[in-house]
Amino acid sequence: MERGRTATEGSGAERTAARQHHGNRHGRSERARQAVLEAADGLLVEKGFTGVTIEGIASSAGVAKQTIYRWWSTKTDILLDAFLQDATEALTPPDHGDLTEDLGAHLHQLALFLTRSDAGTVFTALLGHAQHDPAFAGVLRARYLDEQRRRDRLPLDNAVRRGELPADLDTVAEVDQLVGPIYHRVLVTGDPVDRAFTDLLVDNFLRRHRVR
Partner DNA sequence: ACTTAATCGAGACGGTACGTCCAGTCTTTCG
Partner DNA sequence: CGAAAGACTGGACGTACCGTCTCGATTAAGT
Each as own residue / partner, the long-range contacts of residues 165-172 (CB below 8 Å, 24 or more positions apart, any chain) are 165/99, 165/209, 165/211, 166/209, 169/209
Minimum CB distance to a second copy, residue 15 (Å): 27
| 45, 54, 127, 169: which one binds DNA (CB under 7 A) | 54
Q: Which does 67 bind (CB under 5 to 8 A by kind): a second copy, DNA, none?
A: DNA
Burial class (CB in 10 A: 0-12, 13-18, 19+), 210: exposed
Categorise residue 190: left if φ over 0, alpha if ψ from -120 to 50, beta otherwise. left
Q: How many residues does the chain have?
A: 212
- Binding residues vs a second copy (CB under 8 A): 48-50, 124-125, 127-133, 137, 141, 145, 149, 172-173, 176-177, 179-185, 187-191, 197, 200-201, 204, 207-208
| 71, 83, 123, 144: which one binds DNA (CB under 7 A) | 71
Q: Which does 64 bind (CB under 5 to 8 A by kind): a second copy, DNA, none?
A: DNA
Distance CA 83, CA 92 (A): 15
Each as own residue / partner, the long-range contacts of residues 144-150 (CB below 8 Å, 24 or more positions apart, any chain) are 144/80, 144/83, 144/84, 148/91, 149/175
Size of the site for DNA (CB under 7 A): 29
The verdict on 69 binding DNA (CB under 7 A) reads yes
Cβ nearer to DNA, comparing 21 with 209: 21
| 3, 14, 16, 20: which one binds DNA (CB under 7 A) | 20
Minimum CB distance to DNA, residue 69 (Å): 5
Q: Which does 6 bind (CB under 5 to 8 A by kind): a second copy, DNA, none?
A: none
Rg (CA), the chain: 20
What is the DSSP-derived secondary structure letter of residue 186? I
Cβ nearer to DNA, comparing 67 with 198: 67
